[in-house]
Structure 1
Amino acid sequence: MTIIPFDKKYIDEKRAKAMPMIQAKNLWKKYGDNVVLERMNVSVKAGEFITMVGTSGCGKSTFLKMLLGMESPTSGELLLDGKSIRSEPDQSRGIVFQQYSVFPHLTVLENVIIAREFEHSPILGKLFGSKKRKVVDEAKALLESVGLTHAINRYPHELSGGMKQRLAIAQALIRQPRILLLDEPFGALDPGIRADMHQLILELWREHQLTVFMVTHDLSEGFYLGTRLWVFDKLRRDNQAPGAYGANITYDLPVTRRKSEVPYELQTIAQESQDF
């Protein structure tokens, strides 16, 4: 009889791929008497691209902050790899906001390497010698991938809006996160620049094997970029007490990344949540 050796590492890797990366279990978020999210139950596998749409104030950005660790659940669970998400941001999660989070007194290159410098040297925020050269090389390679090689010595005030957003993305990716969180990152950009940024983010998603969560008010953008589109809305309402009930994911739609292939009925369903 042939004995097949037990490969624990292989089994663990297969199990990790099979289980959800992110799980929300009966998740609630309240601020005092104001219920923002209620009874959320959802799971996401590694490598998915989740786009989130819905009315202003329906909890999309709050959920993003909970994934980042800036906010904690009021009740229920939000899990990463089966464990509660840490109550502070860490290396596994990077975020890009609509407002560019860049340091005005630093060059493009310095803006990217500073995160790694504080990671390796929390007190001084500086690296020297071979460690410094290694981080600089990583930053230059990343800036090349986002199309900013020609601007590495410029300061933020010398950059266009699209270039600043590329810089913000490079800042988020320098720490090699597993999860990228995008909070309306392209809302302030002109349509032509947004189209370029769409292609860039899809290329980076594939290249870095990221799991992405993105808030957007542009319905076509949500359909085009995502592998799943979540519509946030309230299932229950009380006009006398607007904060009594929270939002949930009312539609979880598998979508295509070709705008021309988006079924009309799916657009109609999402538009029922208004104000995108």
Structure 2
Amino acid sequence: MIEIRNVWKKYGDQVVLERLNLRVEEGEFCSMIGASGCGKSTFLRLLLGQERATRGEILLDGKPFPGEPDAHRGVVFQRYSVFEHLSVTGNVMLGLELPRAKFTGRLFGAQRRAARDEAVAMLERVGLGAALDKYPQQLSGGMQQRLAIAQALMTKPRVLLLDEPFGALDPGIRKEMHDLLLGLWRESKLTIFMVTHDLKEGFTLGSRVLVFDKVRVDPQAPGAYGARITYNIPLDHSRDSASSIHMARAVVEGASRVDAVSA
């Protein structure tokens, strides 16, 4: 479904990413881990269309990705990317109103009722059926992130991009959000890319783990070389493969400790 061909990203003389090559099938859940500043969020912005590759190409179904964000791609950030002045239902309906109401930006009559019904059904799926008329400031952090996920899914994207979506949540709420996300992923067959600094989270949720690291270091020019995908680990979460997942985590954790000592 998605192919990354020799992608580089530079900002001036600083190389952030280099020589990225990757193939991802439809329905995969790719967890992206690595040290801070190694280009994970930059790669996510390339997939979203916020940034353009300096070199190389990103293909969707064999064709170049559109150069700007579109309905094929939903995104959820770490901080709750919702509109404070809109109700819970209004936030989710917005994804339907903007593309359908070309001139006014709003729907009316039967179209608006149908859009509200769709929004309510989505909110019930993410556990917000009792908060339809509340505003974001009246919601807890976990509820706001549920709202952001509902908002992202409302346009039925093929690819969902998550930039540390649970980093600001307490551990108990994070577990609830993990269960919610896995349920939605299995139900909708989305292709997901998720940036996380939590190794356990990455290995627990992902069907594939991508480790970003900067493998070439020039002491005289620390910004000269960019990060690459140094590990590309497919995961099988069946009971028989639990030990292999544990071993893969141990390898990545060990490499991370070595890098930290070297630094």
| TM-score above 0.5, yes or no | yes
Structure 2 segments unaligned to the other structure (5+ residues): none
**Match of residue 90, structure 1, among 61, 66, 70:** 70
Partner of 2:51: 71
Give the share of equivalent positions with the same residue, in percent: 59
Structure having the higher Rg = 1
Which one of 266, 272, 275 corresponds to residue 248 of structure 2? Answer: 266
User: 3-state DSSP class of the match of 1:149?
Assistant: coil
Match of 1:212 among 192, 196, 210: 192
8 Å CA contact 1:233–1:273 kept in 2: the answer is no
- Taking the TM superposition and a 5 Å limit, the aligned residue runs for 1:155-174 are 155-174=135-154
Q: Equivalents in 1 of 2:245, 2:57: separation in Å?
A: 34
Count residues with an aligned counterpart.
Answer: 256
SS for the counterpart of 2:97 is: helix
Are the counterparts in 2 of residues 179 and 210 from structure 1 also a CA contact under 8 Å?
A: yes
| Partner residue of 1:126 out of 106, 125, 131 | 106
In structure 2, distance between residues paired with 1:267 and 1:189: 23
Post-superposition shift, 1:256? 4.0
- Residue 125 of structure 1 aligns with an amino acid whose one-letter code is G
Matched position secondary structure for 1:144: helix
- Asked if the contact 2:235/2:245 (under 8 Å) is kept, the reply is no
Q: Give the partner amino acid of 2:56.
A: G
Structure 2 residue corresponding to 1:185, chosen from 156, 165, 188: 165
The equivalent of 1:232 in structure 2 is 212
Aligned-pair CA distance for 1:262? 5.6
Supply the RMSD in Å over aligned alpha carbons. Answer: 1.7
1:246 and 2:226 are equivalent in the alignment: yes
Partner of 1:10: none
Which residue of the partner structure matches residue 35 of structure 2?
55
CA distance in 2, matches of 1:263, 1:128: 51
1:225 and 1:257 in contact (8 A); partners too: no
Contact 1:28/1:73 (8 A) holds in 2: yes
Asked if 2 retains the 8 angstrom alpha-carbon contact of 1:224 and 1:258, the reply is no
Separation (CA, whole Å) in 2 of partners of 1:220 and 1:262: 14
For structure 1, the 5+ residue unaligned runs are 1-20
Asked if the contact 2:30/2:193 (under 8 Å) is kept, the reply is yes
Question: If the length of structure 1 is used for normalisation, what is the TM-score?
Answer: 0.89
